[in-house]
Amino acid sequence: MGKMNVNLCGIELDNPIIPASGTFGFGYEFAELYDINLLGTFSFKGTTKDPRFGNPTPRIAECPAGMINAVGLQNPGVEAVISEELPKLAKCFHKKVMANVSGFSVEDYAYTCEKLDACDQVGWLEVNVSCPNVHGGGMSFGTSPEAAAEVTRAVKQVTKKPILIKLSPNVTDIVSIAKACEAAGADGISLINTLLGMRIDLRTRKPVIANKMGGFSGSAIFPVAVRMVYQVAHAVDIPVVGMGGVTTAEDVIEMMLAGATAVEVGAANLVNPFACRDIIAELPKVMERYGIESLSEIIGGVK
């Protein structure tokens, strides 16, 4: 069997598969279905300083080869995540977990990251400056190099663990933003978050979701994600975590050839809760088919 382990910011992963934030809850929900310790790690539900109910319903719209969501970062707030969610997770997941953080001000990001950085279970902090489903926060910090760098510097000042900045594809030049984050001290880059999409109900002539627009994800966005991962990975000297429409083991290989050190799987988990388990099981066969002895050796293999 080929070697599937990779090193992400100094922490060894058994394999590169990471369920993406917002598609895997806090992990213990999926632990009722299979042993989630077979994952490389996972990124838990986006966490903010204060509790959030999220956006009004309806929040989901189906699309060909994908979906639109506007959940709006519903979560119990960082204090409850630390006191309630992480202890539940500790009973079923014995690896370092990736904490996904969002905010509505630079101070929010710093506060939440500092709190989670102190948790032994947390291995990495994935700082989301790219959520398209909230007003006055999230993506507004990820649409300019200066704003993204400001968040990066603020969280680096209060943390010791690796910081991955999660970027939005809803920009004209994602490379300049990634490079600004690297210069500000980011340890890695995650991309891409969802594209901004919309559906209209022909009968009511109104938007399908209450928020009007939301994050478009699913297999339809995979080529865009591969392109952006390739661009960023060849422009920075820090690891890239690739995501966006990944549904198969072949997709994982393609994303790694583009430059991803690890690969997050998002919408596929909502269609098939066993998606990540199945991809991990299939990876050795796909590696053998394409003559790959070690996944770490193919990272950025396409120049």
What local confidence, expressed as pLDDT, does residue 139 receive?
Answer: 54
Total Cβ atoms within 10 A of residue 144: 16
pLDDT surpasses 80 at 96: yes
What pLDDT, on the 0 to 100 scale, is given for residue 244? 98
Q: Is the pLDDT of residue 107 over 90?
A: yes
Residue 134, pLDDT > 90, answer no
135 has a pLDDT exceeding 90 = no
The b-or-e profile of 114-143 (16+ CB within 10 A means b, else e) is bbbbeeebbbbbbbbbbbbbbeebbbbbbb
- Give φ, ψ of 65 to 5 degrees: 60, 30
Burial bucket for residue 209 (CB in 10 Å: 0-12, 13-18, 19+): buried
HEC secondary structure over the chain: CCECCEEECCEEECCCEEECCCCCCCCHHHHCCCCHHHCCCCECCCECCCCECCCCCCCEEEECCEEEECCCCCECCHHHHHHHHHHHHHCCCCCCEEEEECCCCHHHHHHHHHHHHCCCCEEEEEEECCCCCCCCCHHHHCCCHHHHHHHHHHHHCCCCCCEEEECCCCCCCHHHHHHHHHHCCCCEEEECCCEEECCEECCCCEECCCCCCEEEECHHHHHHHHHHHHHHHCCCCCCEEEECCCCCHHHHHHHHHHCCCEEEECHHHHHCCCHHHHHHHHHHHHHHHCCCCEHHHCCCCCC
pLDDT at 133 over 80: no
Mean pLDDT across 54-73:
92
Nearest alpha carbon to residue 232 among 166, 296, 294 = 166
Alpha-carbon separation of residue 205 from 143, 147, 209, 212 (angstroms) = 31, 37, 12, 12
Interacting residues of 243 by C-beta distance below 8 A, sequence separation 6+: 20, 190, 191, 192, 225, 255, 263, 264, 265, 266
The pLDDT, as a whole number, for residue 140 is 63
As a whole number, mean pLDDT of residues 98-123 equals 96
Name the residue with tokens 């993406």.
Answer: 20
On the question of pLDDT at 192 being above 70, the answer is yes
What is the value of pTM for the model shown?
0.95
Identify the band that residue 3 occupies on the pLDDT scale cut at 50, 70 and 90: very high
- Other Cβ atoms closer than 10 A to 1: 9
What's the pLDDT score for residue 144? Answer: 87
Q: What is the pLDDT of residues 142-190, one digit of tens each?
A: 778 999 999 999 999 999 999 999 999 999 999 999 999 999 999 999 9
Q: What's the pLDDT at 1?
A: 77
Specify the pLDDT at position 89.
98
The whole-number pLDDT of residue 164 equals 98
**101 is written with which tokens?**
């953080």
pLDDT in tens, 195-247: 999 999 999 999 999 999 999 999 999 999 999 999 999 999 999 999 999 99
φ, ψ at 29 (rounded to 5°) = -65, -40
Give catalytic residue positions: 131
pLDDT at 138 over 60: no
Backbone φ and ψ of 242, nearest 5°? -95, 145
Alpha carbon 31 to its chain's center: 19
Average pLDDT, the chain: 95
For the chain, domains (ranges, CATH) are 6-54+71-195+213-297 (3.20.20.70)
